Amino acid sequence: MSLLLVCLFAFQDGPKLTDIVQAYDQATLGRAVPIFSTQIKKGHLKVTLDQGSIAPVQLFGQDVGVFFKGTGSFEYVSSDRVEAAVLRNNVDKATGLALESKDDGRHVSGDFRSLFLYGSFEPLPGPSDFGAPDLVSSFEKHRTDFAGDVSSVAAHRFVKQIFDMPASPYSRIELGGGKEDVVHMIDPLESHTEQLYVLRGFMGQVPGHLKNARYGISVSEVPWERNWQDFLNPPFLLTHVDLTLNAPKKGDANLEVVETLLPMDRNQRIFRFNLFSEQSDDSFKTRTTRVKHVRNAAGKELSFHHAKDQLLVDLEEPAVAGQEVKLHFAIEGDFLIRPNNDNFWQLGVAPWFPIPELNGQYMTVHCKVSVEDPFIAFAPGKTLRREKMGDFNYLETQIDKPVQFMVIHAGKYYVEEVTREGLTVRVASYGMKKKRAASQLARLAVSIIDFYEPWLGPFPFPELNVLEINAYGYGQAPPGTMFITKEAFEPLSDAVSSVFSQGANHRYAHEIAHQYWGHVIKMGGYEEQWLTESFAEYSSSLFIKYLKGDDAYRRMVQGWLARTMTAVDAASIPTANRLSGKDSIERFRNRTALVYDKGAYLLYQLHQELGDDDFLTFLRSYQGLFAWKYGTTKDVVSLLNHITKKDYTAFFETNYWGSSLTMTAP
């Protein structure tokens, strides 16, 4: 009998999502028996149970896995060339696991004292005259130890499998009590990966909600029944969002969200979203996001489970692939966090409303925001209304192109606007009027856009909001928006601003380039982030060359190469976001050197080889052919091959998918 049928029989009116989550978290054990010298194989993992006791894990009286207590060891073999460098880096610098390179790949090994396997397994040994100890207390301790895993909500995938893909080979193995607590997972449900990761607790002072939490350090993550190059289709697309936010000065904010969802390849009943459950402010106070209810288009309340920044919703009946469904979320909480108690808050490029993974974010947006005076709000898209309504300032905007990364920002700001041929550049200075600086930044934005448009196409949004952030040293570019720190507004006001203002023109040009590389061309996952960061970086270098001359451009190129050479052995570009290690500064530098600098240097090399005409044709063609779509490196290679009549496959295999830098022309 399948587990789905077991669940159906267990509840007279059919199982509810919350019932299944609770059942998973409160699974029981059957009779334990002794076990010796037994192997379990899942994907690239081989587990050896040397000696101990084993018992079936049961839900509703049916076996769904096993629990082992005793001594054992494991070995995981990765032959994947793309992850070879990052696996070596992370095992050596971030774990206590053993690593050995052999002809068939990299062998990662360790020991354990307890094992919980959810998924299919070989029959257990029969009853024994020797008997076995009661494993209940050991099982409870193991579940407690692994309950803090914030990398995934194990029960959510369990529910997804039961209702939507009961025949899938999903499995999860937890190995505890050794030098490291390790999780192995085969996920054919969403990510279509095989993963091995180590659990690590948060260091230093942490907010209360993270006291017992542990995050995952990636050891291996390889495609499951797919390849690296192809775009990963999501379970569903988020195609439209209606947002209504009411933000008083005091008390909880209220957020109403109506989402239009499009199931993709199969009918599905369970929908998983990312949504903050708890955050912390600068004083380590826990801030909560509470889902009051979820309703379907008919107004019926649906069952949901919200934990560890994940929201699972049960439609009760499968949604048909290719047919849109609508969900209404009512959300409240003290989630409007003012950094350092400043006079602004930001709902940024993070899951502050229910969103799928990157490859499922493809949304047009209608947004309504009411913020209590003196705050004013900013949101991407065309401004439909902006007015004072009693004690509140009201904003209504609309985005009519599919985007990722919806944001809302509000605070005490003073605004200067410049309009040019239908484009409005709105520069907002924080806390006080900075008319001269704001006007200069608006004109600079127009100049950069004028430079980009001939070879990247028309600016993709009718308005650009440039918002000052009361901090130093960074920029960020959601749709139609730029968050830029204070040194851009006051470059010579103090010593700190003077230091950070060096390269401000480059940063400004980089962030504006993201409106093309990041929104017109989207990344479907962090393996493809170079399509946004490296391409924006290289585009900005061409503006710097235009603005300041060849020497400034060459200095940028030399900087990319120098930083690349310090990190080239650490990871390939698509795996750079998985870098880990005890030295957080080194990890940050290496990741930046690969995703930003190495990618930009590869584009420089291609530019040198192709020449201006063919290279700019390549960029213009990519923007045109894949406008408002997800980009892939596979498409980059195909387009280059078509334009140049050469084959760049080997070039990218070595320099992008590999962890080398050998600039061999095809």
In this prediction the pTM is 0.94
DSSP annotation of 209: G
The packing angle between helices 584-592 and 550-567, to 10°, is 130
Above 70 in pLDDT, residue 621? Answer: yes
Q: What is residue 408's predicted lDDT score, i.e. its pLDDT?
A: 99
If you search the block for the tokens 């002794």, which residue do you land on?
A: 34
Question: Where do we find the tokens 């054990």?
Answer: 29
How many C-beta atoms surround the C-beta of residue 474 within 10 A?
12
pLDDT over 90 (residue 73): yes
User: What pLDDT band is residue 662 in, cutting at 50, 70 and 90?
Assistant: confident
Residue 162 has pLDDT above 60, yes or no: yes
Tokens of 613: 């005409």
pLDDT for 502: 47
Label residue 120 by pLDDT band (50, 70, 90). confident
Residue 204 has a pLDDT of 81
Residue % of the chain over a pLDDT of 90: 85
Which position has the higher pLDDT, 77 or 489? 77
pLDDT in tens, 589-605: 999 999 999 999 999 99
Res 67: pLDDT: 97
Reported confidence tier of residue 132, pLDDT bands at 50, 70, 90: confident
175-195 confidence digits (pLDDT tens): 999 999 999 999 999 999 999
Note whether 594 and 533 are within 8 A (CB): no
Across the range 245-255, mean pLDDT stands at 95
pLDDT digits (tens, 9 = 90+) for 379-431: 999 999 999 999 999 999 999 999 999 999 999 999 999 999 899 999 999 98
The 3-class SS string of 344-412 reads EEEECCCCCCCECCHHHEEEEEEEEEEEECCCEEECCCEEEEEEEECCEEEEEEEEEEEECCCCEEEEC
pLDDT per residue as tens digits for the range 90-110 = 999 999 999 999 999 999 999
Residue 537 gets the label, from left (phi > 0), alpha (psi -120 to 50) or beta, of alpha
611 sits in which H/E element = helix 599-625
pLDDT tens digits, one per residue of 18-50? 888 988 888 999 999 999 999 999 999 999 999
Q: How confident is the model at residue 473 (pLDDT cuts 50, 70, 90)?
A: confident
Does residue 11 carry a pLDDT above 80?
no
- The answer to whether the beta carbons of residues 305 and 312 sit under 8 Å apart is yes
pLDDT of residue 100: 98
C-alpha distances in Å from residue 320, one per residue of 296, 363, 396? 15, 20, 33
For the chain, the average pLDDT equals 93
Distance in angstroms (rounded) separating the CA atoms of residues 236 and 325:
10
Higher-scoring residue by pLDDT: 7, 554: 554
Closest by CA to 275, choosing from 356, 388, 330, 359, is 356
What does the pLDDT look like over 489-534, one tens digit per residue? 876 445 444 433 447 889 999 999 999 999 999 999 999 999 999 9
Domains annotated on the chain, with CATH: 3-223 (no CATH), 228-399 (2.60.40.1730), 412-502 (1.10.390.10), 523-655 (1.10.390.10)
**pLDDT above 80 (res 4):** no
Position 367 pLDDT exceeds 70: yes
Distance between CA 452 and CA 516 in Å, rounded? Answer: 9
Confidence band of 152 (pLDDT split at 50, 70, 90): confident
Q: pLDDT higher for 230 or 6?
A: 230
Model confidence band, residue 124 (pLDDT cutoffs 50, 70, 90): low
- Answer yes or no: is pLDDT of 352 > 60: yes
pLDDT in the model for residue 6:
54
Higher-confidence position of 646 and 210: 646
